[in-house]
Amino acid sequence: MFNVELVSIAEDELSEAFNWYENQPNDLGNRLFREINHLLKIIEGNPFYYPVKYPGEIRSASLSKFPYLIIYWVDEANNNVIVLSIFHTSRKPIQF
């Protein structure tokens, strides 16, 4: 099992997304949070499940119901997963 850590930018992006969706109808903020948490649990159990998408072994996991990607790097030596971004796909592409 790997430890999942969010860098401060990823925490800010998650908070911003949650707050925006929380102001929408149908409990979307909590639905977004549950979907992200579900993907983070998958990544925690098997961080190599999702493919490398960027140089430097940066991986990407796509949410199924929301337009977001979880961008992360696996630190195998320390059993850590570093979440670099929780990225809204309509924004400018990430440069790593």
Distances (CA, A) of 2 to 36, 64, 65, 73: 17, 23, 25, 12
Which pLDDT tens digit goes with each residue over 67-87? 999 999 999 999 999 999 999
Distances (CA, A) of 11 to 8, 26, 49, 70, 77: 5, 23, 22, 11, 24
Dist. CA 1–CA 24, nearest whole Å: 35
Which whole number is the average pLDDT over 47-59? 95
Model confidence pTM above 0.85: yes
